[in-house]
C-alpha cells in the first residue's frame, strides 16, 4: 500500500488513488483500446478460412461465458444472487475477445503473437472495469483496491452530555440555520479504537451534515452504516443522499459512521463474535457505539439511533437490530442477504459453527426476530426489483420483522439490481421514512 502523501513527479499518491474507474478518461481509454485490439485481431487475413476460424472462436468464447454463467450462477449459486445483465454481457465480451486472441497465437508473426497475448490482459482489465462500472460501488482506483482516500476528519466536542435525553422539541420546528452555514456536509475518516473487541478494522468513514459544522451545533441523530462484502467503509454514497436531504431541511441530517465490519474485504466475519474471524459484533455494538457517544455531537436517546447496511451490511443491520433493540430503534436493510454466509452455507457451517446446524440457524434474522417483541422499532427493507433472489429474501425477513412488532416498510427499487442504484434508492427511501421520526422534518400528512 502506498503512503497517502508521498510525491512522485510533483503529484501526490493520494491523487493517484482518486482516479475514477467508473467513468472518465481511464475507462474510455481501456474501452477504446480493447475495441481497436479486437478489430486488429479479427482482421488477420482476408480469407474465408480465417473468417470462419475467427467467427468460430468468437462464438466459442461466448458459449464458454454462457457455460460459466450457468454453472456458477444457476447450478452452484456461488454468489447467492443474480449478477445482472451488464456483468453477463461483459463476461461474454471478455471470453469472446480472449478466444479470438488465442487463435491469433497460431500461424502468425512474433509481433502479432505479442499483441494477441497482451490483448487478453487488456480484455480482462476492460471487462473488470466494465463490470465495476455496472455495479457502481467502487468509483475510484483506491476504492477498487480497498485503499481509503478519505483524510482524517476534524471533530468538535459534543455539546450534549451523555446523560441528557431527547431534544426538547423537534429540530424542524426549533432549528434556525445560521448565516454562513456550509451548503453541504463534509466527509473524512477516523480510526475507531477496539479496547473491548480487539477486532482489527479499517478506518471508518464519517459524514457530518451542514448543521453539524456550525458553532453551537445541535445534537443530531446517529446512523451506523455497514457496506457490502467485498467493499469499503466509504461515506460518499450516504453523504450524497443526506446532502440532498439536508438542502431541503435547513442543513439537518443525521451524523453517520460508515463502520468496517469486515477488517479484510476478502473475509466475511458475519458480524458475529467468532474464534475464526474475531469479535466483529462486539466491535460494532460496544467499541463503535462507545466512540460515537464520546466523540460525536449526537442525540443520546436511542430512539434516534439507526443501524443501516447494504448487501452483507444489510444482513448485519437487521441481525444486530434484532439482537440489540436497546441500542437501535431503527434499521435500514438495503438488499440484505437473508442470513449470515448465505452464499457459502456449507463452508460457513463448518468453519464458523463447527458443523452445529442449530447454532447456525439461531443466527438467521427470521429466528432472531421470532425470539423478541419490538414495541418501538422502525424497519425499512428495500431491494432491486430485478434482483429476484434478494428481493424474495427481503420479503421473508420483512414479514418476520412485522410479525415481531416492528413498524415495517418494504419497497422495491425499479431497475436497481444489486448495484449502486439499489444502494442509493434504499438510502433515499430509508431516510424518507426516518426524517419525521428523527424530528428533522414535519410529520407526513394525509
Across residues 262-283, what is the average pLDDT?
A: 93
d(CA 176, CA 172): 9
Full 3-state SS string of 342-398: HHHHHHHHHHCCCCCHHHHHCCCHHHHHHCCCCCCCEEEEEEECCCHHHHHHHHHHH
pLDDT at residue number 418: 84
Average pLDDT over the chain reads 89
pLDDT at residue number 150: 77
pLDDT at residue number 145: 76
pLDDT at residue number 202: 93
What length is written for the chain?
446
pLDDT at residue number 8: 34
- What SS3 state is found at 189? strand
Domains of the chain, by residue range, sit at 23-135, 150-438
Of the listed ranges 335-344, 399-408, 429-438, the one predicted with least confidence: 335-344
Contact call for residues 126 and 35 (beta carbons, < 8 A): no
Joined grid coordinates for residue 26: 481511464
What is the reported pTM?
0.84
Q: What is the CA radius of gyration of the chain?
A: 24
Q: How confident is the model at residue 3 (pLDDT cuts 50, 70, 90)?
A: very low
Across residues 160-184, what is the average pLDDT?
A: 80
Joined grid coordinates for residue 236: 460518499
Residue 6 has pLDDT above 50, yes or no: no
pLDDT digits (tens, 9 = 90+) for 136-170: 777 778 777 777 777 888 887 676 555 455 667 89
Q: How confident is the model at residue 262 (pLDDT cuts 50, 70, 90)?
A: very high
pLDDT digits (tens, 9 = 90+) for 9-32: 334 546 777 787 777 788 899 999
Residue 78 has pLDDT above 70, yes or no: no
At the top level of CATH, which class does the domain 150-438 belong to?
alpha beta
pLDDT at residue number 158: 72
Q: How confident is the model at residue 366 (pLDDT cuts 50, 70, 90)?
A: very high
pLDDT digits (tens, 9 = 90+) for 188-211: 999 999 999 999 999 999 999 999
| Apex 102 CA angle, 115 and 69, nearest 5 | 120
Residues pairing with 380 in the sheet: 332, 409
d(CA 90, CA 175): 50
Residue 80 has pLDDT above 80, yes or no: no
pLDDT digits (tens, 9 = 90+) for 115-132: 999 999 999 999 998 888
Residue 377 has pLDDT above 90, yes or no: yes
Give the torsion sign (CA, 14, 19, 20, 24).
Answer: positive
d(CA 218, CA 210): 11
pLDDT at residue number 22: 76
Contact call for residues 354 and 386 (beta carbons, < 8 A): no
At 133, give phi and psi (nearest 5°): -65, -35
For 53-87, give one letter per residue: b (16+ CB within 10 A) or e.
Answer: bbeebbebbbebbeeebeeebeeeeeebbbbbebb
pLDDT above 70 covers what percent of the chain? Answer: 92
Full 3-state SS string of 246-258: HHHCCCCCCEEEE
Our CA dihedral for 300, 365, 199, 147, rounded to 10 degrees, sits at -90
Amino acid at each position: 500500500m502506498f503512503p497517502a502523501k508521498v510525491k512522485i513527479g510533483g503529484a501526490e499518491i493520494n491523487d493517484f488513488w482518486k482516479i475514477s474507474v467508473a467513468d472518465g478518461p481511464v475507462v474510455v481509454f481501456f474501452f477504446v483500446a480493447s475495441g481497436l485490439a479486437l478489430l486488429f485481431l479479427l482482421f488477420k487475413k482476408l480469407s474465408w478460412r480465417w473468417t470462419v476460424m475467427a467467427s468460430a472462436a468468437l462464438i466459442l468464447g461466448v458459449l464458454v461465458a454462457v457455460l460459466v454463467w450457468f454453472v456458477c450462477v444457476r447450478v452452484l449459486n456461488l454468489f447467492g444472487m443474480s449478477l445482472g445483465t451488464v456483468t453477463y454481457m461483459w463476461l461474454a465480451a471478455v471470453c469472446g475477445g480472449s478466444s479470438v486472441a488465442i487463435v491469433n497465437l497460431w500461424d502468425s508473426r512474433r509481433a502479432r503473437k505479442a499483441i494477441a497475448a497482451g490483448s487478453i490482459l487488456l480484455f480482462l482489465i476492460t471487462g473488470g472495469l466494465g463490470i465495476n462500472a455496472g455495479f457502481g460501488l467502487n468509483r475510484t482506483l483506491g476504492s477498487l483496491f480497498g485503499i481509503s482516500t478519505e483524510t482524517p476528519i476534524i471533530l468538535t466536542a459534543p455539546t450534549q452530555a451523555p446523560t441528557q435525553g431527547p431534544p426538547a422539541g423537534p429540530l424542524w420546528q426549533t432549528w434556525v440555520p445560521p448565516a454562513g452555514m456550509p451548503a453541504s456536509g463534509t466527509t473524512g475518516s477516523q480510526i475507531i479504537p477496539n479496547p473491548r473487541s480487539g477486532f482489527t478494522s479499517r478506518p471508518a468513514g464519517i459524514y457530518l451534515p451542514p448543521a453539524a459544522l456550525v458553532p453551537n451545533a445541535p445534537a443530531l441523530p446517529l446512523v451506523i452504516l455497514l457496506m457490502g462484502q467485498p467493499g469499503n467503509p466509504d461515506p460518499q454514497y450516504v453523504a450524497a443522499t443526506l446532502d440532498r436531504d439536508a438542502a431541503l431541511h435547513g442543513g439537518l441530517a443525521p451524523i453517520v459512521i460508515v463502520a468496517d465490519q469486515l477488517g479484510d474485504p476478502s473475509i466475511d466475519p458475519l458480524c458475529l463474535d467468532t474464534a475464526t474471524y474475531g469479535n466483529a459484533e462486539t466491535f460494532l455494538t460496544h467499541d463503535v457505539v462507545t466512540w460515537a457517544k464520546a466523540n460525536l455531537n449526537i442525540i443520546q436517546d436511542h430512539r434516534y439511533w439507526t443501524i443501516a447496511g447494504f448487501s452483507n451490511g444489510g444482513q448485519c443491520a437487521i441481525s444486530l437490530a434484532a439482537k440489540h433493540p436497546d441500542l437501535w430503534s431503527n434499521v435500514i436493510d438495503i438488499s440484505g442477504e437473508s442470513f449470515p454466509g448465505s452464499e457459502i452455507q456449507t463452508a460457513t457451517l463448518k468453519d464458523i459453527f463447527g458443523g452445529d446446524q442449530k447454532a447456525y440457524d439461531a443466527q438467521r434474522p427470521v429466528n432472531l426476530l421470532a425470539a423478541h417483541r419490538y414495541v418501538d422499532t422502525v424497519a425499512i427493507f428495500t431491494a432491486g426489483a430485478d434482483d429476484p433472489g434478494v428481493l424474495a429474501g427481503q420479503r421473508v425477513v420483512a414479514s418476520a420483522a412485522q410479525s415481531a412488532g416492528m413498524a415495517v416498510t418494504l419497497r422495491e427499487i425499479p431497475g436497481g439490481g444489486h448495484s449502486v442504484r439499489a444502494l442509493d434508492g434504499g438510502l433515499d427511501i430509508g431516510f424518507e421514512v426516518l426524517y419525521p421520526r428523527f424530528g428533522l422534518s414535519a410529520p407526513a400528512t394525509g
